[in-house]
């Protein structure tokens, strides 16, 4: 079976005047469909840069990135944006919800950019909010929701375009430990029940228990 996502000898180097900063050094990773991957490392380890490359937000300085066998490491931003819209759903530590929109409207938003018909947009959004236990909170705005509820809205939004890969950047960082484990159980359920590929980036060592694959990074290198 071929990897769904493959990084091959990836480097990320930033040129800061006369100084070259090597943030990633010769990173190679294979991620398969249905994997639940936890990328773990301390602050400054390079995990955020690695996340950006795995999620098509950035391209490597050297090396190759393959998504479903296609080399995406030299694509232009417009092409990368198209791939992100179709293939990848994002969950962020800060939730990134629009405060003037309801939970339902926040979830609907990505479908507008994909050109999905209005009736289908609402149908998808309601289905995903219901799947994370927010059927009775759809018409509430973010200020009326708890941290855990906001993150569940964010997960629903990540799912609405039916992506193959869910990328979660510190998804438990702004909630208490009990709510954080509930968020992780929702992601695990999506992985097992819907066969989604999940990539979680974190500094929280306890989240490794949810993974079938753990990637430890330190000083830009895989340990």
Listed by start position, the domains of the chain span: 5-222
Question: How many whole angstroms from its chain centre is CA 92?
Answer: 7
Positive or negative, the Cα torsion across 141, 147, 151, 156? negative
Tell me if residue 199 falls in helix, strand or coil.
Answer: strand
- DSSP-derived pairing of the beta strands 221-222 and 213-218: antiparallel
**Domain 5-222: CATH class, spelled out:** alpha beta
Tens-digit pLDDT string for the chain (223 aa): 899 999 999 999 999 888 989 999 999 999 999 999 999 988 889 998 999 999 999 999 999 999 999 999 989 999 999 999 889 999 988 888 999 999 999 999 999 888 889 999 999 999 999 989 999 999 999 999 999 999 999 999 999 999 999 999 999 888 888 899 999 999 999 999 999 999 999 988 889 999 999 999 999 999 8
Are the beta carbons of 29 and 190 closer than 8 angstroms? Answer: no
Query: Nearest 10 degrees: CA dihedral of 31, 15, 43, 41?
Result: 30
Cα(146)–Cα(217) distance, integer angstroms? 32
Tell me if residue 175 falls in helix, strand or coil.
Answer: coil
What are the structure tokens assigned to 115, written together? Answer: 């050109």
- DSSP-derived pairing of the beta strands 165-169 and 197-202: parallel
Q: Where are the alpha helices (DSSP H) in the chain?
A: 47-54, 77-87, 103-113, 118-131, 147-159, 177-193
Q: What is the DSSP letter of 86?
A: H
Cα dist. 92→65, 113, 138, 206, 215 in Å?
Answer: 22, 19, 20, 18, 19
Q: What is the DSSP letter of 72?
A: -
> How many other CB atoms are there within 10 angstroms of residue 132's CB atom?
22
For tokens 């479903």, what's the residue? 68
What are the structure tokens assigned to 7, written together? Answer: 């990084």
* Structure confidence at residue 7 (pLDDT): 97
Are the beta carbons of 161 and 110 closer than 8 angstroms? Answer: yes
């Amino acid at each position: 079976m071929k990897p769904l996502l493959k990084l091959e000898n990836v480097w990320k180097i930033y040129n800061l005047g006369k100084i070259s900063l090597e943030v990633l050094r010769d990173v190679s990773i294979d991620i398969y469909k249905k994997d639940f991957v936890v990328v773990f490392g301390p602050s400054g380890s390079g995990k955020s840069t690695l996340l950006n490359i795995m999620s098509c937000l950035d391209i490597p300085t050297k090396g190759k990135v393959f998504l479903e066998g296609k080399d995406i490491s030299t694509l232009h931003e417009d092409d990368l944006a198209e791939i992100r819209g179709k293939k990848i759903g994002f969950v962020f530590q800060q939730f990134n919800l629009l405060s003037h929109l309801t939970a339902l409207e926040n979830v609907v938003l990505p479908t507008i950019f994909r050109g999905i018909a209005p009736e289908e947009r609402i149908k998808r959004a309601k289905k995903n909010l219901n799947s994370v236990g927010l059927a009775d909170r759809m018409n509430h705005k973010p200020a009326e929701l708890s941290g855990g509820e906001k993150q569940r809205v964010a997960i629903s939004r990540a799912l609405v375009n039916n992506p193959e890969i869910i990328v979660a950047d510190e998804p438990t960082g702004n909630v208490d430990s009990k709510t954080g484990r509930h968020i992780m159980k929702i992601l695990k359920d999506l992985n097992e029940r819907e066969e989604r590929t999940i990539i979680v980036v974190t500094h929280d060592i306890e989240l490794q228990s949810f993974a079938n694959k753990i990637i430890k990074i330190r000083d830009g290198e895989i340990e």
